[in-house]
Amino acid sequence: MNIDGINTGYVLDHIKAGKGFELYHLLGLDKADCTVAIIQRASSGKYGQKDIIKIDADIPIDYDLIGYISPKITVNIVKDRELVKKFKPNPPTILTNVLECRNPRCITSVERGIPQKFRLVDKESRDYRCVYCDTLYRENK
């Protein structure tokens, strides 16, 4: 299957197979006014299978979110069909409004108008804790 190259925008490569659609929604790409392609389960030399997202527009991208989803994701920034930058975003120190605290005793379960915030407590395992109640959030990604 062929998907055209992009003019100016981003290629998010090495997304864990099956996670592409989740990332698409988390990044708000469903609301973006531009061409976006999701390629699911493409063959990958490194990982066997991978998802890829291509965004054909220079729109703001939340690198923190990408770093949180997986440190393996490669961001390729393309300008006028040229690759100008390639990097792997680090997991963010503070993650805002991505996770929801599961602790029913947490203030976030009752207080209106406060953001859901988690802080990175272990860069290796990418463990996060709720900044309010310290509940651990650990997910096998």
Residue 89: CB partners within 8 Å, gap ≥ 6? 63, 64, 66, 67, 71, 73, 75
Nearest distance, CB of residue 44 and other proteins, angstroms: 35
Q: Which is nearer to other proteins, 1 or 110 (CB)?
A: 110
Q: Which is nearer to other proteins, 90 or 135 (CB)?
A: 135
Say how many residues make up the chain: 141
The rounded distance, in Å, linking the Cα atoms of 49 and 68 is 20
Q: Which is nearer to other proteins, 31 or 105 (CB)?
A: 105
Binding of other proteins by 12 (CB under 8 A): no
Residues forming the site for other proteins (CB under 8 A):
103, 105-114, 130-134, 136
